[in-house]
Structure 1
Amino acid sequence: MELFEELVKRGHHPDVVTYNTLIDSLCKAGDLEEARRLHGDMSSRVSRCCVPNVVTYSVLINGLCKVGRIDEARELIQEMMRKSCDVLPNIITYNSFLDGLCKQSMMAEACELMRSLRDGSLRVSPDTVTFSTLIDGLCKCGQTDEACNVFDDMIAGGYVPNVVTYNVLMNGLCKTDKMERAHAMIESMVDKGVTPDVITYSVLVDAFCKASHVDEALELLHGMASRGCTPNVVTFNSIIDGLCKSDQSGEAFQMFDDMTLKHGLAPDKITYCTLIDGLFRTGWAGQAEVLLDAMPDPDTYAFNCCINGLSKLGDVSRALHRMLELELVPDKVTFNILIAGACKAGNFEQASALFEEMVAKNLQPDVMTFGALIDGLCKAGQVEATWDIM
């Protein structure tokens, strides 16, 4: 920006491409006020043949929509339509505005915009991105029936959905427990010449696992290979989580090995924490601790998974030992887990000491902290003692 200002001071006259590039950069950096100032500066340079064009407006409208400034974006579109034909909004302009409306859950206006694009009143026709954006917005607002209607209208109108269109609709269907319909869309995709990608399969795998249909998820995982699609870390994380929650920690551990050894994928924090939690939950404490030690750069979240497992097994002392051993800084969640574990084991002296340490570290006790203490004391028949901590 300083270089730009220096060029102007020296009498150079930036062209519209220079302005557009700078406005785009400012929008991406979040400096919308400076971007708007430059846009206004262009409008004052009519004599120098440097007026905003459709790209200028579209870039600025997109930037405003990204941060939820819909009213300002709408005003710019109206300004464009009041000007000459050279700056009429194009489909890129409208797609940016539609995306902004959807992200603000303004679905009534988004659907009205689509109707205007379809009936030709805006002199611009929607494209695949337009339909995909609206379908995604409707799905995220839980309006999957409306999203399916838009999809059907898209097909009937001769528009061709792409893999993104299918993925956003399938994701919406899965989140509203319409997994069978989502699953059936894979064959529909293939019939229409659209190749399912790893996102397509991962969406379905995750949905089946969350619904405790792990066998169906595994079938999908194996079916990916037959279509030449390689699973990624997200796919495996969903499978591992599903196996752990169905008390199949041994199979989950085997899946972890397949992921790393067979497919050459590096597990992320979610992989490790999911498996650590699952192993503890099914009594495989030793394997869980081995996995924690093998985890590169374990953080407090990963450590909390470990101590939560140890605490639930009643081994708070071991949990404290691991905390010191790993030299990790405990947070509020850490102390809540330890206090709950100590209370469950009936060790209120240890729970009290942990509570005092928590306060000393300027960590504010919350409802979980007091709930664990009160629950433990009540179960131990020490109801009167609960008044001392309230």
Structure 2
Amino acid sequence: MIPGAHLPPLRAARALSARLCPSQHLCSEGSRNGGESRRDTLQSNGDGILEGEEEVKGLDAGHFRPEMLLRLPPPGGPPESDDDDGEDLSPGHGSRRWFFEDVRLEADRIFRILLQDGPGFSARQALDEMRPKVSIKLMREVLFRILVSVDSVNRERYPKLAYRFFVWAGQQEGYRHNTSTYNLVMKVFAQCGEVKAMWRLFEEMAEKGLPVSARTFHLLICASGQVGLRRRLVERFIKSSTFRYRPFRNAFNAILHTLLTIEQYSLIEWVHQKMIFEGHSPDVLTYNIVMRAKYMLGKLDQFHRLLDEMGKNELMPDLHTYNLLLHALGKGDKPLAALNLLNYMSDVGCVPNVLHFTNLIDGLGRAGNLEACKYFFDEMVKKGCEPDVVCYTVVIASYVAAGEFEEAQRYFDDMLVRGQLPNVYTYNSMIRGLCTAGEFDKAFSMLKEMESHGCTPNFSVYSSLVSRLRNAGKDSQANTVIKYMTDKGHYLHLLSRFEGYERC
């Protein structure tokens, strides 16, 4: 058990950095493995991580990826939708409901006409004869139908249909495209790999003086795979007078946040340097994003310098800053410092919630300090924070990774008693633990149990179970799992990854 600790009131993040994040370890018993946990020595590859000689795909590595827990929700409201124009498309009541129903029926007719386009049938002529009343709502309904219908068979044809309809609609009297419709067409292009066509639309938007939104930027930067091209794109958006990102105070923060969502940490560093060079003062959001990037890149000295700089600029940490600090202290195996920080948060009116405890426990679990994981889980419950499915999953994964499956099972059972339904991550960890314990029949039963609880296994569940069965010399049971997957119609396009398996 960790002895109680209390941090004297601090006036700034600068003092917080000095007291909580010095170079030496602050836990009473010291770091268990000379400051480096077993997990931190694992080598990564493109598909997952290597655990000894065995590759464990994706989530079967035992933990959520840090970015899933440390995500930074955009302030000022929920993230932008794909529509990006702020209009409510819900049917509502009365005449409004009938109006939307009419729009949807008309969109269905237009979609059927577009599908017939080809030799012997002119979709343009059919649309001219139909004479629909073109509106933003109608455009979005039609383009959405095209977008959700794209597959490997039609991915070359559908972008052409979307663009032809887009051009035809833009020529109709009384109608003008907006940012939302451009973004939807660009999303169709992105899904079909038409990057050059996306850039042509972007150029057209600029020529027409339409405001470009965060959605526009996100679509383009995700489609632009080369680092050099992404840098040029960022430069272009920084200089653009039409770049608009409503939830954020300025374009730099908007760009930084978008780069964070696609995990472009090195590019975040570059944008931050540009921001400082051009004389823009960072705010708390800026610091949170850049500190996140430094942490994910393993640049902890720069991470702490930024925290110190934040205090010098008289900017106080917010909930997200504390969230990252707690995870860093946990992964650094510093439970006493984490306890100090939790006490300090309460003193300054920033009461820790379940997400703060979850990130701390996740970090401690990665450091292998299960005693501290249990202590903070119990403290969280004592303080009235109800553990959710994510928190339970983090604890379960920590015990599974440490080879203590009985404790993992205890938390899994407690989770069910408290009415928390396991998700795919929880089941991944439990199945992995059962396999490690040699309980392969129970692991297969749990795989089937997922379905009965409305939780569809992802491919990593199947591949991990098959791999472990084969490593144990149980090829027949491995083939049974593969057959179960194919009978369910799951991931048939990935069947070739199971080498040596032949379908009957």
User: Amino acid of the residue matched to residue 204 of structure 2?
Assistant: E
Q: Deviations over 1:303-326 (max 9, x none)?
A: 3243255x2xxxx4xx35755886
User: Please, which of 359, 362, 378 is the counterpart of residue 479 of structure 2?
Assistant: 359
Q: Deviations over 1:93-120 (max 9, x none)?
A: xx4443334323444344434545666x
2:291 corresponding residue in structure 1: 170
Preserved CA contact (<8 Å) 2:469 2:478: no
1:379 corresponding residue in structure 2: none
2:12 corresponding residue in structure 1: none
User: Amino acid of the residue matched to residue 76 of structure 1?
Assistant: L
Q: Pairwise CA RMSD of aligned residues? A: 4.5
2:412 corresponding residue in structure 1: 292
Deviation at residue 173 of structure 1 after TM alignment:
0.8
Q: Deviations over 1:196-222 (max 9, x none)?
A: 443333233334434445554444444
For the residues of structure 2 that align with 1:107 and 1:52, how far apart are their CA atoms?
Answer: 31
Q: Deviations over 1:139-174 (max 9, x none)?
A: 7152454233123135x14xx545443332111111
2:361 corresponding residue in structure 1: 240
Preserved CA contact (<8 Å) 1:259 1:265: yes
Higher relative contact order (CA 8 A, sep 6+): 2
User: Amino acid of the residue matched to residue 218 of structure 2?
Assistant: D
User: Please, which of 252, 257, 269 is the counterpart of residue 373 of structure 2?
Assistant: 252
User: Please, which of 221, 225, 228 is the counterpart of residue 102 of structure 1?
Assistant: 221
> Does structure 1 residue 264 correspond to structure 2 residue 385?
yes
Preserved CA contact (<8 Å) 1:182 1:204: no
Describe the SS at the equivalent of 1:142. Answer: helix
For the residues of structure 2 that align with 1:81 and 1:244, how far apart are their CA atoms?
Answer: 49
Deviation at residue 11 of structure 1 after TM alignment:
7.3
Greater helix percent: which structure? Answer: 1
Q: How does 1:220-369 map to 2 (within 5 A)?
A: 220-268=341-389, 270-279=390-399, 286-296=406-416, 297-298=421-422, 300-308=427-435, 311=437, 316=438, 319=439, 323=443, 328=448, 331-334=462-465, 336-337=467-468, 351-352=472-473, 354-362=474-482
1:77 corresponding residue in structure 2: 202
TM-score, scaled to structure 2: 0.53
For the residues of structure 2 that align with 1:228 and 1:252, how far apart are their CA atoms?
Answer: 24
User: Please, which of 261, 271, 279 is the counterpart of residue 147 of structure 1?
Assistant: 271
User: Amino acid of the residue matched to residue 274 of structure 2?
Assistant: V
Q: Deviations over 1:251-284 (max 9, x none)?
A: 211222233442423332x533443354466675
User: Amino acid of the residue matched to residue 105 of structure 2?
Assistant: E
Between stretches 215-224 and 27-36, larger displacement belongs to: 27-36
1:382 corresponding residue in structure 2: none
User: Amino acid of the residue matched to residue 228 of structure 2?
Assistant: A
CA pair 14-230 structure 1, distance change in 2 beyond 3 A? farther
The size of the alignment, in residue pairs, is 337
CA pair 367-238 structure 1, distance change in 2 beyond 3 A? farther
1:40 corresponding residue in structure 2: 167
Q: How does 1:46-195 map to 2 (within 5 A)?
A: 48-53=173-178, 56-57=181-182, 60-61=185-186, 64=189, 69-82=194-207, 87-92=208-213, 95-103=214-222, 104-116=224-236, 124=242, 128-136=249-257, 137=259, 140-143=264-267, 145-153=269-277, 156-157=279-280, 161-186=282-307, 188-189=309-310
For the residues of structure 2 that align with 1:286 and 1:125, how far apart are their CA atoms?
Answer: 54
User: Please, which of 89, 95, 106 is the counterpart of residue 3 of structure 1?
Assistant: 106
Preserved CA contact (<8 Å) 1:272 1:295: yes
User: Amino acid of the residue matched to residue 270 of structure 2?
Assistant: E
Describe the SS at the equivalent of 1:49. Answer: coil
For the residues of structure 1 that align with 2:475 and 2:293, how far apart are their CA atoms?
Answer: 43
For the residues of structure 2 that align with 1:27 and 1:217, how far apart are their CA atoms?
Answer: 50
User: Amino acid of the residue matched to residue 392 of structure 2?
Assistant: Y
TM-score, scaled to structure 1: 0.65
Preserved CA contact (<8 Å) 1:118 1:126: no
CA pair 229-43 structure 1, distance change in 2 beyond 3 A? same
Describe the SS at the equivalent of 1:202. Answer: helix
Describe the SS at the equivalent of 1:203. Answer: helix
Greater gyration radius: 1
For the residues of structure 2 that align with 1:5 and 1:324, how far apart are their CA atoms?
Answer: 43
Describe the SS at the equivalent of 2:266. Answer: coil
Preserved CA contact (<8 Å) 1:54 1:88: no
